[in-house]
Amino acid sequence: MPTAPRAIIHVDMDAFYASVEQLDDPSLRGRPVIVAGLGRRGVVSTASYEARRYGVRSAMPTAEARRLCPDGAYVVPRHTRYQEVSAVVFDVFGEVTPQIEGLSLDEAFLDVTASLKLFASVEAIGRRVKEAIRERTGLNASVGMATNKLLAKLASELSKPDGFLRIDRHEIRGYLDPLPVGKMWTIGKVAEEALHRVGIRTIGELVRADNWRLEKALGERHARQILALARGDDERPVVTDAAEMSIGSEWTFDIDLLELPIAEAWMLRQCERVGARARARGLDARTVSVKLREPPFVTHSRQAKLPVAGNGTPEIYAVARRLLRTWWEQHPRPRLRLLGVSLSGFDTVEMPQQDMFAAPVEKKKTDGVQDRINEKFGAGALTRAGVLKTRSSE
């Protein structure tokens, strides 16, 4: 017997960070809101739809956004608040299926194939998700539905904002063919330009192109993959409980750092952040990586293993600080415009680490107290004394 088609839903919150800010501050509603770093080297995280009319986009330098939209409301990101709202959204997902693949705080794929036995249709499930998110958060979600991930994501994107669209198999060509090839998943700027050079600008033209042109532009293997997607074929499963690959935090400085003690203070601040996030997720890391960028854009990466897998801030900082000092001593005139720390190689925490070399209990208690206070009163409410050097240079 033929396998029944899958029912996949893609949910993407509309301008998530900016929408949360407008929800919490009614004076921002209807105004162009830009959530961004506000320093000289800040970058836009999210722009409301009102701001997008001015050409403001995510990943754009804040300085450029200010030129395009000088009267916009510029807001510093509040990640703790966004995580709170995200938890409510993901609770809604869990009410219709356990098959959830989270892509970010505000985006996920749901495989609701098995849930069709309980609900009338994939549209009924999608409508339930959309309305529940609206009722519990006050925010709009765009919902796309199809038989695979590619088409479900396309459906949510095409129907934004406040979207709701299902793409059936017989409708694939009508939706895909007119789109620019750059809209296709896996086609980046380089591949897009290569396709343009051989006269292929739309997905419809790609599907109808001869193999010689496609392979000339993309190479044989990539051409086969892209052609399958262009035809609407996508067998990727919804991957539930995908292991988090890394947890990172970084900071770009308005004025280059020239002193090692100040750089160490900033390193400690980033270690506090990633340590808290790892503890909140119940994850022990094995590897600490540091990211160091010299002006203008020369980036160095260094990494080392923790003696014992863990998530304690002192242990993370000890490794990160050693990597920073080694790099600093290797450069005759060290200066930094960006500094970051990330954790990877995670194990799920099942019981307290029983190891004679593990951090003393007092240090782990300190982390726990700090986490609880910052969770209650906001990030940065309680911090180590060594971090105070960074306050004057924010």
CA neighbor of 100 nearest in space, from 235, 237, 241? 241
Q: What is the pLDDT of residues 132-164, one digit of tens each?
A: 999 999 999 999 999 999 999 999 999 999 999
Ramachandran category for residue 262: left, alpha or beta (phi over 0 → left; psi -120 to 50 → alpha): alpha
Same domain, residue pair 277 and 389:
yes
Q: Does residue 346 fall inside a structural domain?
A: yes
Which residue do the tokens 């301008």 mark?
Answer: 15
- Mean predicted confidence (pLDDT) in 200-218: 89
Q: What share of the chain is helix, strand, coil (3-state, %, to 5)?
A: 45, 20, 30
- Alpha-helix residue ranges (DSSP H) falling in the chain: 16-24, 49-52, 62-68, 79-94, 122-137, 149-159, 172-176, 189-197, 203-208, 211-218, 220-230, 260-280, 313-330, 361-377
Active site residue 235: no
**Radius of gyration in angstroms for the set of CA atoms belonging to the chain, rounded to a whole number:** 24
β-pairing, 141-146 with 8-13? antiparallel
Q: What is the pLDDT of residues 24-68, one digit of tens each?
A: 999 999 999 999 988 877 889 999 999 999 999 988 999 999 999
Query: What is the DSSP-derived secondary structure letter of residue 243?
Result: P
Of 152, 167, 182, the residue at which a domain comes to its end is 167
Same domain, residue pair 160 and 209:
no
Of 167, 194, 212, the residue at which a domain comes to its end is 167
Question: Does the pLDDT of residue 321 top 80, yes or no?
Answer: yes
CATH number, domain of 357, equals: 3.30.1490.100
Question: Does the pLDDT of residue 327 top 80, yes or no?
Answer: yes
What H or E segment, with its residue span, contains residue 347? Answer: strand 347-348
Q: Are the beta carbons of 240 and 109 closer than 8 angstroms?
A: no
Same domain, residue pair 13 and 102:
yes
pTM above 0.75, yes or no: no
Q: Summarize the annotated binding site for Mg(2+) as residue ranges.
A: 12, 106
Q: Does residue 235 fall inside a structural domain?
A: no
Tokens (6 digits) for 104: 């970010």
Half-sphere exposure of 114 (CA within 13 A, CB side): 9
Same domain, residue pair 12 and 152:
yes
Same domain, residue pair 81 and 130:
yes
Same domain, residue pair 159 and 296:
no
Q: What is the pLDDT of residues 187-207, one digit of tens each?
A: 878 888 889 998 999 999 999
CA neighbor of 7 nearest in space, from 176, 185, 144? 144
Pick the catalytic residue: 21, 101, 107, 315? 107
The model's confidence at residue 245, banded by pLDDT at 50, 70 and 90, is: low
Same domain, residue pair 76 and 192:
no
Give the CA dihedral 58, 61, 67, 71, nearest 10 degrees: 60
Q: Are the beta carbons of 15 and 163 closer than 8 angstroms?
A: no
| Distance of alpha carbon 278 from alpha carbon 249, whole angstroms | 12
Q: Does residue 239 fall inside a structural domain?
A: no
Same domain, residue pair 143 and 197:
no
Same domain, residue pair 35 and 145:
yes
Q: Does residue 238 fall inside a structural domain?
A: no
Q: How many folded domains does the chain comprise?
A: 3
Of 204, 230, 256, the residue at which a domain comes to its end is 230
Q: Does residue 361 fall inside a structural domain?
A: yes
Give residue 377's identity as a one-letter amino acid code: F
Same domain, residue pair 160 and 180:
no
Q: Does residue 236 fall inside a structural domain?
A: no
CATH number, domain of 217, equals: 1.10.150.20
- Mean predicted confidence (pLDDT) in 290-309: 88
Q: What is the pLDDT of residues 2-36, one digit of tens each?
A: 567 899 999 999 999 999 999 999 999 999 999 99
Q: Does residue 241 fall inside a structural domain?
A: no
Q: Does residue 240 fall inside a structural domain?
A: no
Q: Are the beta carbons of 247 and 270 closer than 8 angstroms?
A: no
Helix, strand, or coil (residue 371): helix
Same domain, residue pair 71 and 148:
yes
Domain that residue 255 falls in: 246-393
Same domain, residue pair 161 and 16:
yes
